[in-house]
A and B are shown apart, each in its own frame.
Chain A
Amino acid sequence: MTATPAADIPTVRPAAPHPRRRFSAATQDAIFAYGLVLPVVLLLIGLVGYPFFYAIYVSFTDRVVGNDGQWIGLANFRYLAGAPAFSSAIWNTVVLVVVTGLLKLAIGLGLALLVNQHLPGRGLFRSFLMLPWAMPAFVAYLTWRVMFQPIGGGINLVLTNTGLYPHIVDWLGQRSTAMPSVILAAVWRGFPFWFVSILAALQTIPNELYEAARVDGATAWQRFRNVTWPGIRQVVIITTLLSSIWTANSFEHVWLLTQGGPSDATMVFPVLAYFGMQTQRLGEAAAVSVAMLPVLMILVFVATSMMQNREDRD
């Protein structure tokens, strides 16, 4: 029997090849980058995504405090659609958002154009105009409530003492004046945001453009239309969208002034949702908020797209 050479010769194993890199350098960089942002993504999912989608889920249940409830499909939305307060809330929210938006635009733009001129005491005037925004909302609206008081309220005192209107007006207690009063207070509190945004945009327009326009014989309106407006248009649109979202979601101005009354003359979505919460019927309250979601989501989408485009362009 002959031994096979292979059995006698100690086996020399070939050196193990270097393990092949499973990922390219670019992929590894990407994984590393994703790893870095992962905690933030998880945080956003936990703090923003989960409550958001959970609220949508709750709106399809009959959940009350102390009971998770059952899936009831669109029943909450059907109930809301039949409630007169819901249709009032839709109309009032639209009126509030549109009218306050237009007024804030007019006042904010007018004041920004004024303050953008070389005037003495301009800095002080700018700071002064920011005061309503700096004031806590509840202080501002309670002050307005006092001013609107029929007896002893500042507005009626001025009107009666100056003889402009000798009768007491129940500003917040009449259907005809309640919403205009709420709008007035909301505009007062909100216009500084518009003012400061538009002023910032105005200051980015080079002076040379105005000088060139003057040399060409452009009138003030032509200068505004062809130089100023193109320079601030993007900011105005974004401010409009943001302000609309905030106004539609805002609770304190209506709650502190009228609590949605008289009757349902100033009922808006957030106040209606709050009434739902007071009855511990969480499903219904969530349905009110979810009902206004599509419109707000469109506004949010448009606003973020425009801001993104602007950033890309810059």
Chain B
Amino acid sequence: MTQRFHWSRRHILKTTVAGAAALAAGRSALAAPALVKGSKLTYWGGLIFSEKANKLLVDTVNKWGADNGIQTECVMINQNETVQKVSAAVASNTMPDALDLSPDLLLVLSRQGVFALVDELYETIGKAQGGWYPAIATSTDTTKLAGGRTGIPYGASGNLLLRRNDILAKAGFPNPPTTWDELVTQAAAVNKPPLFGLGLALSNVGDGNVQVSVMQSYGGRIADDAGKTVTIKSEATRAYLAWLKGAWDKKIFPPGVTTWDGAGDNQAYLAGQAAFIANTGSVGIAAKSQDPELYQGTLYSSLPGGPKGVVSPIQPNLRSIPKTSKNPDAARALIEHLSQPAFMNAYFENAIYGPVLQDQAKLKAFTGGDPILTGLRDLVQKGTAPAFPDVYNAAYADMLTNFIIPKMAQRVVIDGWDFDRAMDEAQTRTQAIYDKYK
């Protein structure tokens, strides 16, 4: 005789709870990356000037590998060579399992479908640490290009205005300039060669692209809101060029600014040849060890503004996983591990990066009173998204790489072209670039 089973209310409740728990456990088991013991993982880290930060990253990756039974190989790649190395690796199908890269490169390669989507990981890390800063979130969103996010931001950089407060305060300028005109006024007041007032690069290097921000703060635009039709030639750009020519004619730029390499402004500031420069803060770190007096005499502020406000772009740095990765689960787990506050605090303390997550601003690195890190935190909180007010797309990144605006500036100050001719050339060249992406 079989006993008939009766579904009591308590029984139903218990079964439901147990089922829900099992389902949840199953889901979490599915979500957890399956790390295969003994598998290999190659990681290309971005080499920066801080040896401590580089070592910390390598050690952390290797320790994570040892803890999880994964053979890690962490190769540090000079960030000036990332484009070439990654390009060669993509062409030869030898990409690592995960890598650090700039948003420009991410943007271009995401169009080609090189990277795996990491939306879930992005959400997980964001939720755990107070959410991403809005400018970081929007500037790294590759959904329109790749159907989802392809990079996890880990640190933001950008330009701060470094000034020789020891000299400027004595000249009656204790506060930083808030407009580009004020900057020229202050720079001209302390311009006594071999100390020159304004150490802004006008050469064909990344630092030269600060001129794009100056132009945009005057209302100049690279392209329209659709990001397709170039609009460089405008009255606003003319106003920017007038500002530049005026400053140039005052002879406040150090000689050589039109051919400076990437370290030109650093060297000029460290050599006492510039009262102001725009820099990521690396000069401050160098001064701290090489010239403590200069370090003490230096103060940091955001870039000045123009008639249309301040344009101070944030440059997020990202970690991505190529689609060709043989160990994508381990790569995801590693990137999540590298976002942990303990590691990031130590990393931020040694590297010149601002926070990308809201909770990171509360880390000791950013509350400890270091003027450079504080400045970078403020930059992330108050700065503008890359390309703002323009549209950040592959054509814009190509325009930056071709140094269109610094070259337009050189046409005016070196070749003596009138503003219309210089704008016409920049307009034509940039439109040719934008047309390639239509």
Contact = CB atoms under 8 A, between A and B. Distances in A.
Nearest to B398: A279
Interface residues of A, number: 36
A261 B273 contact: no
B145 to A, nearest CB: 12
Interface string A253-265: 0000111111111
Interface string B218-254: 0000000000000000000000000000000000001
A260 B204 CA distance: 8
Contact of B259 (A67, A258, A279): A258
A273 B258 CA distance: 21
* Dominant secondary structure at the A interface: loop
A143 B82 CA distance: 26
Contact of A262 (B108, B111, B259, B432): B259
A219 to B, nearest CB: 48
B256 A275 contact: no
B402 A151 contact: no
Interface in B170-221: 193-194, 203-205
A259 B87 contact: no
Interface stretch (B27-35, B360-368, B376-384, B410-418): B410-418
B203 A262 contact: yes
Given A278-B401, A280-B83, A150 B410 contact: no
B254 A151 contact: yes
A129 interface: no
A147 to B, nearest CB: 13
Taking each of B84, B255, B257, B407, which has the highest tally of chain A beta carbons within 10 Å of its own beta carbon?
B255
Given A168-B255, A259-B205, A65 B407 contact: no
Interface in B86-122: 86-87, 90-91, 105, 108-109, 111-114
A178 interface: yes
A152 interface: yes
Given A83-B432, A173-B258, A279 B203 contact: no
Given A66-B114, A173-B257, A263-B414, A275 B402 contact: yes
B90 A66 contact: yes
A83 B407 CA distance: 13
A252 interface: no
B255 A150 contact: yes
Contacts of A62: 436
Contact of B258 (A84, A149, A261): A261
Interface in A178-194: 178
Contact of B91 (A65, A261, A264): A65
B414 A174 contact: yes
Interface in A51-79: 62, 64-67, 79
A173 B255 contact: yes
Nearest to A169: B255
Nearest to B194: A151
A188 to B, nearest CB: 19
A94 B425 CA distance: 24
A153 to B, nearest CB: 9
Nearest to A150: B255
Size band of the interface chain B makes with A: 35 or more
A178 B194 CA distance: 21
A172 interface: yes
A174 B256 CA distance: 8
B271 interface: yes
A84 B254 contact: no
A277 interface: yes
A126 interface: no
A170 B260 CA distance: 11
Given A261-B410, A275-B401, A178 B108 contact: no
B359 interface: no
Given A65-B86, A65-B91, A150-B256, A79 B415 contact: no
B329 interface: no
A263 B261 contact: no
B109 A261 contact: no
Nearest to B115: A66
A83 B429 contact: yes
Contacts of B407: 263-264
Given A173-B257, A259-B261, A262-B258, A65 B109 contact: yes
A17 interface: no
Contacts of B204: 259-261
A277 B90 CA distance: 14
Nearest to B91: A65
Contacts of A79: 432, 436
Nearest to B261: A259
A82 interface: yes
Taking each of A149, A151, A168, A262, which has the highest tally of chain B beta carbons within 10 Å of its own beta carbon?
A262
A178 B258 CA distance: 11
Contacts of B109: 65-66, 280
B324 to A, nearest CB: 11
Contacts of B205: 259
Interface string A112-124: 0000000000000
Given A151-B255, A170-B255, A65 B432 contact: no
Contacts of B112: 64-67
A223 interface: no
A260 B398 CA distance: 18
Contacts of B84: 277
A259 B203 contact: yes
B345 to A, nearest CB: 34
A263 B254 contact: no
26 contacts: A64-B108, A64-B112, A65-B87, A65-B112, A66-B108, A66-B111, A67-B112, A83-B432, A84-B425, A150-B254, A150-B255, A150-B256, A151-B256, A152-B194, A173-B414, A259-B203, A259-B205, A261-B203, A261-B259, A278-B401, A279-B398, A279-B401, A280-B83, A280-B87, A280-B105, A280-B109
Which 9 A-B pairs have CB atoms at the shortest separation, nearest pair first? A66-B112, A150-B255, A170-B255, A262-B258, A263-B410, A65-B87, A262-B414, A172-B259, A67-B112
Given A66-B109, A263-B410, A278-B401, 8 more contacts: A66-B114, A84-B429, A150-B254, A151-B273, A172-B256, A265-B414, A277-B87, A279-B108
Interface of A: 62, 64-67, 79, 82-84, 149-152, 168, 170, 172-175, 178, 257-265, 275, 277-282
